[in-house]
Homo-oligomer: A and B are copies of this chain.
Amino acid sequence: MEVVKHQKWWGWGEDGIEFTYEDKPKFADFVLTNVGVDVTAAAFARPDFEAVQVAAPQLKPGFRKVLVGIVGEDWVATDKETRLVHACGRGVVDLIRLRRGELGRVPDVVVYPADEAEIVALMEAVVKTDAVLIPYGGGSNIVGALTAPRTLRTVISVDMGRLNQVMEIDPTSGLARIQAGVLGPDLEEQLNAQGWTMGHFPDSFIWSTLGGWIATRSSGMQSDKYGDIADMTRGLRLVTPEGVMVLRPLPSTASGPSVREMVLGSEGRLGIITEAWMNVHRRPAVRTIQGYFFATYNDGLAAMAAIAASDAAPSITRVMDAAETAFSIANGKKSSTVTGLANKAVQRLMTMKGWRLDEVALGLVGFEGTRRHVAYEKGLVDAIISRHRGLGVGTSPGALYDQKKYDVPYIRDFLLDRGIPADVSETATPWQYTTQLHDATVAAAYRAMAEAGVQGFVMCHLSHSYHSGACQYFTFALNDSSDRMLETYRRVKGAIQQSFMDNHGTVSHHHGGGSEQVRWLGEDISAVGVSFQAKLFSGVDPGGWLNPAG
């Protein structure tokens, strides 16, 4: 029988795959020094499935029968593990709640529709019985967008996993019609088999879906070339309480306020996306990621701003600040080339140039196209980077990054096993404010840690460039295994988010608002902007059936 893949119930990714530090000689020392925890000591016990209490489902027999009538007996699940898997996303708050068994409201039932007609019928049943519906893709959300509201109404998680096909490719237009429930690897495999790629590779790639990307305004690591998901999404279908919205694929349009853009970022509050027409591209002949060291992160930021203002058009622009550069070296294997680059010879060269080794920043720039085009683009970028005191170090760091890019979330479970909550926050600002925002945010995070009386570590990288600015992505880890772990996390995360608002940043560049970040929305888009969104939500969903705030 058809199977829908799920993450492990208590953490990120597949059962059996875990982060290990044992092949990374510098990792344990790095964490001990920077977070104050000895990761080689015994870990806390993993959560015990049997011990987790989940309330009995609030599901009347008559309603279960309705659901079975729509999707079939095999595709209506009320067992504890399925409900747990669908109870939340994979932010550190979710992980802590799962470990503690403090789950709040858990969906009463999980259904797996086979097609749009079944989703239309589910929507009608939800409206008729005044239930609550939460669309579920890969479950990788980290801003609380999958958290059920505290309600007496029946909460239905609609798992989109069976809608996982590339339906058709229009090779003339470079467009593909794709079902919303397809996971990243499955999507790319289907496209690659016909010579195409969508070029969308977010960190969550393995455990996120097309529908989830659209619903959260996702952005992938090659967005400089392929665009954010908002750029790629040219048409879509959305099941709403008043029927199916059909947006045909269009390269551009002036049909009033963009309805397409209302669906993007709607996080399940306007309906369920069933499929979309996406820009797809022939796989490039050459794809390369070049590594560059900069004397400082600021030099790296300035170089990326100069690239954005130039004729060059790389596919990836990325710079790690000094802290993240140090972590990335510490996270390298013994044989790894990043570690190799941090060897004595390179260090001597840097020192000769007058660089301070603790300020060095690693940058990556990606290129795609024909061999000739990649050479031309690399020439443009090399010249700009030279003018910003950059040092080209070839393809090794990029190759390593490419291999390891989807492994990061596993580290969070490893750290949490050792009493270290760790999470991420990202924003975007105009170039003018990238340095100010970076420095203020790092300072705010450390100040919050000091106030909470815990040690911790913050690092950051620039992850996406635009004409007018860039996304900066912060990762932080805290030494707090106490009962106050969640409060400490919220204090530091709050300080980081507030710094975004105070320094010309946005509440989120690509993770979305969810229930966790919504409190900064008014500072971002102003009270009138929040009111515009609220009018749309309440107009389309007068009953609050669609993923109301948890």
Complex interface residues of chain A between 515 and 531 (CB less than 8 A to chain B): 521, 524-529, 531
Residues of B within 8 A of A508 (CB): 253-255
| Residue A267 CB within 8 A of the other chain | yes
Choose the segment among A53-61, A179-187, A240-248 that binds chain B (4+ C-beta atoms closer than 8 Å): A240-248
Interface residues as binary, A226-270 with B (CB distance below 8 Å gives 1, 0 otherwise): 001010001000101011111111111111111101111111001
**Chain B CB within 10 Å — which of A240, A263, A525, A531 has the most?**
A525
Interface size class of A (residues with CB under 8 A): 35 or more
- Copies of this chain in the oligomer: 2
Bound-state Cα–Cα, A525 to B524, Å: 29
Given A254-B509, A504-B248, the answer on whether A528 and B261 have CB atoms closer than 8 Å is no
* Inter-chain contact A431/B506, CB cutoff 8 Å: no
- Chain B residue numbers with a CB within 8 Å of A418 are none
| Known contacts A257-B262, A258-B265, A533-B256; is-contact A251 B376 (Cβ 8 Å) | no
Q: How far is the CA of A251 from the CA of B430 in the complex (A)?
A: 6
- Contact A175–B524 (Cβ < 8 Å): no
Q: A305-B172, A373-B311 are in contact. Are A509 and B256 (CB under 8 A)?
A: no
Residues on B with beta carbons closer than 8 Å to the beta carbon of A527: 243
Contact (Cβ within 8 A) A258 B258: yes
| A-B pairs with beta carbons under 8 Å apart, 28 shown | A172-B432, A173-B431, A173-B469, A174-B308, A175-B468, A218-B254, A219-B252, A219-B254, A245-B528, A245-B532, A246-B526, A248-B504, A250-B469, A253-B509, A254-B508, A255-B506, A255-B507, A255-B521, A256-B265, A256-B266, A256-B525, A257-B261, A257-B536, A258-B261, A259-B533, A282-B309, A311-B369, A532-B540
Contact surface of A with B, Cβ cutoff 8 Å: 170, 172-175, 216-219, 228, 230, 234, 238, 240, 242-259, 261-267, 270, 279, 281-282, 305, 308-309, 311, 313, 369-370, 373, 376, 380, 428-432, 464, 466-471, 504, 506-513, 521, 524-529, 531-533, 535-536, 538-540
